[in-house]
Structure 1
Amino acid sequence: MTERHETLLTFEYDTAARATTVEASLRPEIDDIEGDRTRASLARDGGSVEITIEAADLVALRAGQNTWLSLMAVAERCAVPGSK
């Protein structure tokens, strides 16, 4: 795949511990979800979690964004008590 489009999603948390928990929830999905047209990478720095999505075309980029935003929402609900 030759990536031509990219999105960087950044999520900030109150504590590094919460960011670490969210990152750990997402980490197994990085290698499992990659397709022919998209790929994602995950990074954490202190209380910040970043997901970079690269795609061969805009349709694949949108699909990748939707997938990772959904996964992030689930990870946050599980990692952050009281969130909905």
Structure 2
Amino acid sequence: VREAFLKVVPRQQILDELIKPLQKDARLRSSQVFLPGSDGYARAVKVNGSAGYARVDVSEARALLAKAKVAGPQVCILFDPSNPRR
């Protein structure tokens, strides 16, 4: 179910519409451990599976949910309400 969720998060659209207006040189992060350009980032991205979530894939998400026998997943997102970008 988590994989299905990640398949439908429009990462590039979020970056383009919310972040780039504030930081023109912003890039997608494909690691939660390393920052882009840091030692280990490229190596981690090659093996961490992030490439599988680079594009929105609704069909694959539906297939994953069907395989998990989950018809109506609910998503709870934690965020900092004091941060207007969140």
Shorter-chain TM-score bucket reads under 0.3
Q: TM-score, normalised by structure 2?
A: 0.26
- Normalized against structure 1, the TM-score is what? 0.26
Query: Higher Cα Rg: structure 1 or 2?
Result: 2
The structure with the largest strand share of the pair is 1
